[in-house]
Amino acid sequence: MTKPLIIAFDGPAASGKGTLASRIATDYGLPMLDTGLLYRAIGFLRAEAQGDMADAAAVAALASDITPELLENPSLRGRGAGEWASQVAAIPEVRTALKQFQIDFAQQPSGAILDGRDIGTVIAPDADVKIFVTAAPEVRAHRRWLQLVKDTPDLTPDEVLADIRLRDERDSSRSSAPLEMAKDAVLLDTTDLGIEAAIEHARRIVKDRRGSH
Ligand code: CDP
């Protein structure tokens, strides 16, 4: 049996980690989990119920309401869901409620690719390859604006930049599993890279790292 391969992609909002993770998952035929969707789903459910985002126990209990269908809901990709996700993601009880599911996903026999904020540090600290994907805030905001403006024509790039800065700050400063680069991660800055060039860089990092294990 071939050895499992676990690859962790972490990084700030709209850095391109999801796109890179899914392309590398296709290359290697590995299952992939976008862990941000789990936090988005909880934030979305809580917002729909008009509940208090700061009620730790009630928000964490929503982890058991996440279904595969909910994770396909396009509303989870919206601007509001990203903001709610970052609020609920700072609650330690929420992180605990989602942790084992992510660990089990990472530990399946084939291995897996996960993208998020704390994959290389908390969920899969022994991952074979860890890539920390980043880009300048203005570049990330522009990319995210291009995605969101289709459904929200009045949205301005500056509003998206403000959202991203707020989220970066909250995600990096929280006490529970903050966004930070694992010591053994490779930094991939996509500020000046198009999608295909970034994918080539990521492929090379995976090959190099696998070779060194
Ligand atoms: O796509 P984008 O990078 O904007 O966001 P995402 O990956 O879907 O994550 C949404 C929010 O969930 C982030 O701002 C984080 O606060 C939180 N998150 C987290 O705390 N840990 C993860 N492993 C993934 C997401």
Distance in Å, CA 154 to ligand 1 centroid: 24
Torsion of CA 25, 201, 38, 33, to 10 degrees: 10
- pLDDT value of residue 145: 95
Give CA 184 to chain center in angstroms. 18
Question: Ligand 1: which of 38, 86, 122, 123 to mutate, most ligand atoms within 8 Å of CB?
Answer: 86
Q: Is 36 in the pocket of ligand 1 (CB under 6 A)?
A: yes
Q: Is 167 in the pocket of ligand 1 (CB under 6 A)?
A: yes
Which segment of 40-44, 129-133, 163-167 scores lowest on mean pLDDT? 163-167
In the DSSP assignment, the letter for residue 3 is P
Q: For residue range 64-106, what is the model confidence (pLDDT) as tens digits?
A: 999 999 999 999 999 999 999 999 999 999 999 999 999 999 9
pLDDT for 1 beyond 70: no
Selection from 127, 113, 110, 104 nearest residue 186 by Cα: 127
pTM: 0.95
Domain span at residue 63 reads: 5-212
Q: How many domains is the chain partitioned into structurally?
A: 1
**Exposed/middle/buried for residue 75 (C-beta within 10 Å: 0-12, 13-18, 19+):** middle
pLDDT for 14 beyond 80: yes
What share of the chain has pLDDT > 70, as a percent?
99
Locate all alpha helices (DSSP H) within the chain, ordered by sequence: 17-28, 36-48, 56-61, 68-71, 79-89, 92-106, 137-148, 157-173, 195-211
CATH number at residue 107: 3.40.50.300
- pLDDT value of residue 172: 93
Which segment of 1-10, 102-111, 133-142 scores lowest on mean pLDDT? 1-10
Average pLDDT over residues 154-172: 94
For 113, the 3-state DSSP assignment is strand
What gap in Å lies between CA 106 and CA 102, rounded to an integer?
Answer: 6
Q: Is 35 in the pocket of ligand 1 (CB under 6 A)?
A: yes
What gap in Å lies between CA 91 and CA 51, rounded to an integer?
Answer: 15
Rg (CA), the chain: 17
Distance in Å, CA 2 to ligand 1 centroid: 31
- pLDDT value of residue 44: 98
